[in-house]
Structure formats: structure tokens, C-alpha cells
Amino acid sequence: MSFINKLFGGSNEPKEEKVLPWKALTTVAQLDEIAEKSKTKTQIIFKHSTRCGISKMAMNQFVDDYDVDLNVDLYYLDLLNFRDVSSETGYKFQVLHESPQLLIIKNGVSVAHASHGAINSMDLQRYV
């Protein structure tokens, strides 16, 4: 088996899991806080469906590619457990609901958003 792993680039070493500085987005009241904080620091919301394989794939890729040195607040919204927060996020920031979805909030408004594979094409550094 080690020959096949070497041939195809596999490794017996477990991959070190990257941990992002997520803040849980669980209440509608937090949306006002995010809008206010966005006046001085970029806020990012990642809306994730825990039952969707595509959402999981986008999340994993986002985590792998995320630059932990970005000066932003990063929020995670489990939209299945917090449907009211997910719905209100769309209303407050005038963005049509999609899942998975990434919203970038500055000066109280969404300045960019993407869903599915387009999430990982976004240059987050542009918005910091």
C-alpha cells in the first residue's frame, strides 16, 4: 500500500486540521452588531448547510484556502439550525439566499457575495 501512496502522492501522516477563528452567528440581534462593526472592520458571513455535500465541499475548500492573517471577523451560520437568522441575513443585507454562501459586509452593507464554487474564487484581501 505504501508504494501506491508514494506513487499517487498519498501520505500516512494525518493532515493537520486548520482551525479558523469562527464566531457563531446564532441570533438576529447579531446582524445589527455585524453591520455596526463593519464600519471599522470587514465582516464575513459563511452560510452553511450541514446536510449538503456541495456546501461541505465549499466549506472545506474555503478553510484550506483561508488566510488566517486577514484582519476580518469571520462568522459561521448553520442555516438549518438558525433558519430565522439565515432569512433575516438576506433581508438585512439585501442578498438572495443561496447555500453555501459567503457575504462580505463593509459599512453596514454587503459589498460582495458568492455561492457554491464561486466562494473560493473571491479575493478576500480586496475587501480588507
Single out the residue of 70, 75, 76 nearest to residue 128, CA to CA: 70
Section 27-46 average pLDDT: 98
Overall number of domains in the chain: 1
Instruction: Kindly state whether residue 96 falls inside one of the protein's structural domains.
Output: yes
Instruction: Kindly state whether residue 6 falls inside one of the protein's structural domains.
Output: no
Diameter of the chain measured on Cα atoms: 55
Q: Is-contact 104 41, C-beta < 8 A?
A: no
Instruction: Kindly state whether residue 58 falls inside one of the protein's structural domains.
Output: yes
Average pLDDT, the chain: 89
CATH code of 75's domain? 3.40.30.10
Sheet holding 43-48, edge to edge: 22-24, 73-78, 43-48, 101-106, 109-115
Torsions phi, psi for 105 (to 5 deg): -110, 125
Position 63 scores a pLDDT of 94
Instruction: Kindly state whether residue 13 falls inside one of the protein's structural domains.
Output: no
Burial level of 108, CB count in 10 A (0-12/13-18/19+)? middle
Q: Which residues pair with 115 in a beta bridge?
A: 101
Instruction: Kindly state whether residue 2 falls inside one of the protein's structural domains.
Output: no
Write out the residue range of the structural domain in which residue 66 sits.
18-127
With residue 29 as reference, give the H or E element that holds it: helix 29-37
How many Å from the N-terminal Cα to the C-terminal Cα in the chain? Answer: 46
pLDDT by residue (tens digit) across 63-122? 999 998 899 999 999 999 999 999 999 999 999 988 999 999 999 999 999 999 899 999
Position 84 scores a pLDDT of 96
Instruction: Kindly state whether residue 1 falls inside one of the protein's structural domains.
Output: no
Instruction: Kindly state whether residue 3 falls inside one of the protein's structural domains.
Output: no
Instruction: Kindly state whether residue 101 falls inside one of the protein's structural domains.
Output: yes
Position 17 scores a pLDDT of 76
Does residue 45 surpass a pLDDT of 90? yes
Residue 19 pLDDT grade (very low, low, confident, very high; cuts 50, 70, 90):
confident
